[in-house]
Amino acid sequence: MYKDFQEETNVNNTPQSTEQGATFVVVANRLPVDRIVGEDGEIDWQTAPGGLVTALEPVMRQRGGSWVGWHGAPDEEVEPFEHDGYTIEPVPLSAQEVVEYYEGFSNATLWPLYHDSVAFPEYHREWYEAYEVVNQRFAEKTAQVAAHGATVWVQDYQLQLVPRMLRELRPDLNIGFFLHIPFPPMELFDQLPWRVEMLEGLLGADLVGFQVPGGASNFLRLVRRRTEHRVDRDRAKLVGPDQHTCVARAYPISIDTQGFADLANSPEAIAEAEQLLADLGNPSKVFVGIDRLDYTKGLRQRVRAMGELFSEGTLDPHDTVFLQVATPSRERVDEYRRLRDDIDLLVGRINSEVGGVGRPPIVYLHASFPRATMAAMYRIADVMIVTPLRDGMNLVAKEYIACNPGLDGALVLSEFAGAARELRQAYMVNPYDLNGMKEVVMKAATDSTQNRRRRMRALKKQVSENTIDKWADKFLTDLDAKGDMGKDTNAG
By annotation, the residues acting in catalysis are 180, 391
CB 391 within 8 A of CB 419: yes
CA distances from 466 to 129, 240, 254, 423 (A): 39, 39, 7, 11
Q: How far is the CB of 158 from ligand F6P (least distance, A)?
A: 6
| Region from 50-58, 303-311, 349-357, 375-383 binding ligand F6P, contact rule CB under 6 A | 50-58
Nearer to ligand F6P, 53 or 309 (CB): 53
Nearer to ligand F6P, 107 or 174 (CB): 107
Q: Is residue 4 close enough to count as binding ligand F6P by CB under 6 A?
A: no
Q: Is residue 329 close enough to count as binding ligand F6P by CB under 6 A?
A: yes
Nearer to ligand F6P, 30 or 302 (CB): 30
Q: How far is the CB of 162 from ligand F6P (least distance, A)?
A: 13
Please give the torsion angle defined by the CA atoms of residues 462, 258, 178 and 145, in that order, rounded to the nearest 10 degrees.
-160
Q: How far is the CB of 181 from ligand F6P (least distance, A)?
A: 5
Q: How far is the CB of 206 from ligand F6P (least distance, A)?
A: 21
Q: Is residue 21 close enough to count as binding ligand F6P by CB under 6 A?
A: no
Q: Is residue 184 close enough to count as binding ligand F6P by CB under 6 A?
A: no
Q: Is residue 180 close enough to count as binding ligand F6P by CB under 6 A?
A: yes
Total residues binding ligand F6P (CB under 6 A): 12
Q: 64, 103, 62: which is closest to 468 by C-alpha?
A: 62
State which of residues 88, 110, 181, 255 lies at the interface with ligand F6P (CB under 6 A): 181
Q: Is residue 71 close enough to count as binding ligand F6P by CB under 6 A?
A: no
State which of residues 32, 50, 201, 259 lies at the interface with ligand F6P (CB under 6 A): 50
Q: How far is the CB of 132 from ligand F6P (least distance, A)?
A: 19
Q: How far is the CB of 263 from ligand F6P (least distance, A)?
A: 20
Q: How far is the CB of 197 from ligand F6P (least distance, A)?
A: 20
Nearer to ligand F6P, 30 or 390 (CB): 30
State which of residues 4, 97, 100, 156 lies at the interface with ligand F6P (CB under 6 A): 156
Q: Is residue 382 close enough to count as binding ligand F6P by CB under 6 A?
A: no
Q: 406, 398, 411: which is closest to 465 by C-alpha?
A: 398
State which of residues 51, 90, 104, 201 lies at the interface with ligand F6P (CB under 6 A): 51
Q: Is residue 388 close enough to count as binding ligand F6P by CB under 6 A?
A: no
| Region from 51-59, 136-144, 196-204, 401-409 binding ligand F6P, contact rule CB under 6 A | 51-59
> In the window 29-48, what residues touch ligand F6P (CB under 6 A)?
29-30
Interaction site with ligand F6P (CB under 6 A): 29-30, 49-53, 156, 180-181, 329-330
